[in-house]
Amino acid sequence: MKHLYDVPAPAKLNLFLHITGRRDDGYHLLQSAMVMVDWCDSLHFELRADGAISREDLRTPLPENDLTIRAARALQAASGTRWGVHIGVEKSIPAQAGMGGGSSDAASCLLALNRLWKLQMPLPRLLKIGLVLGADVPFFLAGRNAWVEGIGEQLTPLDVDPACFLVVKPPHGLPTQTIFSDPALKRDSDVAIISGFAANPREFGRNDMQSIAIRHCPGVSQALDWLAAQGLDGRMTGSGSAVFAWAPANAALDPAVPLGAPAGFEARWCGGLEAHPLSGWAQEMD
């Protein structure tokens, strides 16, 4: 029996993000095209026979009850397994960036523990657990770039041409709740269709949260201005505060460009992923 797993948890970018409404329970209805990129956290799993779930922070200190711990406990409860796990979390994806780092960690945790604990739980069951943990978790579990609707649970696989992105994270983060609770947030965007996005993915739509985020975090505007100075058209991902720009098609990527980001900002070239590194780790059907 293999008692150890070391797995990646990739970040995501929202190529556009529209808010089309709000449910009676307060959840916002979204439309987005989401892609995974090779900016990854690393998670390490060691089987525990005593049933306990523990975590070690290998880089950035995390909250005691972070999404990784919550995912492990939710899977343990849903499966009734007697096994436990010790999890090492090596964070690289910035927090409060709109890049889905916590949700990605949760998804990789569910997929890895499904194997480590030999549960053979099918993907549809993992998706139900994931949605309770966070709106972006099902996207990472499904393992494909996707057209995303509803509150994050409606996923249509989406083929996006391989691309590189210049991603910039300001020094300060943005709590998602700060953006969603702002009364000025636009909540009535027209419903889009996939064919409209596919015709011009680089320029399609906008991020409805971007103008609100700029008011709460001036670093978002600074990052967009810096991208513009590089001749790149920037856009915020998720609820921010990270922004990104598509690299020019067929252009050589200059490794020195991210080094010129404003002081305190984190910037890097990221390659798009066609599939999640753990794609196929859970059966598609019951």
Instruction: Give the gyration radius of the chain's Cα atoms.
Output: 19
Catalytic-residue membership of 118: no
Report yes or no: 164 and 270 within 8 Å, Cβ to Cβ. Answer: yes
Catalytic-residue membership of 136: yes
Q: Helices 123-133 and 67-79 sit at what angle, rounded to 10 degrees?
A: 140
The kind and range of the H/E element at 113 are helix 101-116
> How many angstroms separate the CA atoms of 169 and 264, rounded?
9
Q: What is the dihedral of CA 16, 241, 24, 206, to 10 degrees?
A: -20
Q: Any idea what DSSP says for residue 252?
A: P
Per-residue DSSP letters for 203-241?
TS--BTTHHHHHHH-HHHHHHHHHHHHTT---EE-TTSS
Q: What tokens appear for 50 in the block?
A: 């005593």
Active-site residue identified among 12, 41, 66, 169: 12
> How many angstroms separate the CA atoms of 212 and 201, rounded?
23
Active-site residue identified among 41, 66, 105, 136: 136
Catalytic residues: 12, 136
